[in-house]
Amino acid sequence: MNVRPGFAGRLDPPVGRPFRILQLTDLHLMDVSGDEAVLARIGDLVAFAKPDLVFLTGDQAMSASSRVVYARLSDAMDALGVPWTFVFGNHDAEHGVSRKALFDIAARAKNIRVAAVDGERGETDFYLEVGSRWIVFGLDTRVDATYAIDGKPTWGYDGVRPHQVKWFEDVLEAAGTAVGSVVFQHIPPVAARRFHEPGSTRFHGERNENVSCTPVDFGFEEALVRRRTVAVFYGHDHVNDFAFERDGVEYAFGRCTGDYDYCAPVLPKGGRIVDLHEDGSVDTFILQHRDAASR
């Protein structure tokens, strides 16, 4: 494949089985004693799932000590001996800590696979190649923004912006039509709240809160369909894990992995398995920690 800006490396697919990604989301590590339970949970999930890549989809930290958290998390992830990567969430760079500072800490890890199209801003848009069959994207959804909606300035969460859509399409254009793609990000796309509209199919999973997503789609959903992207995975909502299909694209929440619970009901902690097959299909399902821990 042709290497483009944001290239984070290649991973070889396993022989005789699909390439397995374990999505973990919303760790919300706070530099407190309770962090150890979350890190131990990650170890259990990785040991059970035996992934080829672990993808952390944002809000790894929520602390004024986020530098310490990122260093400790990087050490813990490296100790698992599995390639891993991440995108930022809306809480990671708070309390005056820059995204670039956190990115630089994580980028020193020996098993990490990450890049940045705009490293100075710490914007972690990147892609990984899995053999010659798949491209795995990490897209940065930042924090929040003010939008002009019905002529009024309106606050909302941020999302995938036009320059990111163009970069995403440029990468896939260079890769060719024989390559499949999946996307990981933190804040859900607008499509995530359209699960009930005509044209959405195969709904399954838990929906226990309203979808908190960007209010504006800047052509991302059309680009996903146009480029035949197979699936998009995200976090942010801690008690949603539902998935559905729309226009040939699978949209799916991960299962919250961390212990920061802001509403009830509380779902059992865990992650999401994403299996990439050589025939271009994807299988995905929720892995609960209690199942992994009882192995």
Q: Average the pLDDT over 204-230 and give the result.
A: 96
Confidence of residue 165 (pLDDT cuts 50, 70, 90): very high
How far is Cα 263 from Cα 266, in angstroms, rounded to an integer?
7
Residues of the chain with pLDDT > 90, as a percent, come to 88
Amino acid 120: pLDDT: 58
Q: Is the pTM of this model over 0.85?
A: yes
- What secondary structure does DSSP assign to 146-202, as a single string? EEEETTEEEEEE----HHHHHHHHHHHHHH-TT-EEEEE-SSPPGGGGGTTSTTEEE
Amino acid 121: pLDDT: 59
Confidence of residue 266 (pLDDT cuts 50, 70, 90): confident
The answer to whether residue 18 scores a pLDDT higher than 70 is: yes
* Sheet architecture: strand order including 19-24: 84-87, 53-57, 19-24, 270-276, 282-288
Question: Could you give the domains of the chain?
Answer: 7-293 (3.60.21.10)
Q: Do residues 283 and 18 lie in contact, with contact meaning Cβ atoms separated by under 8 Å?
A: yes
Confidence of residue 156 (pLDDT cuts 50, 70, 90): very high
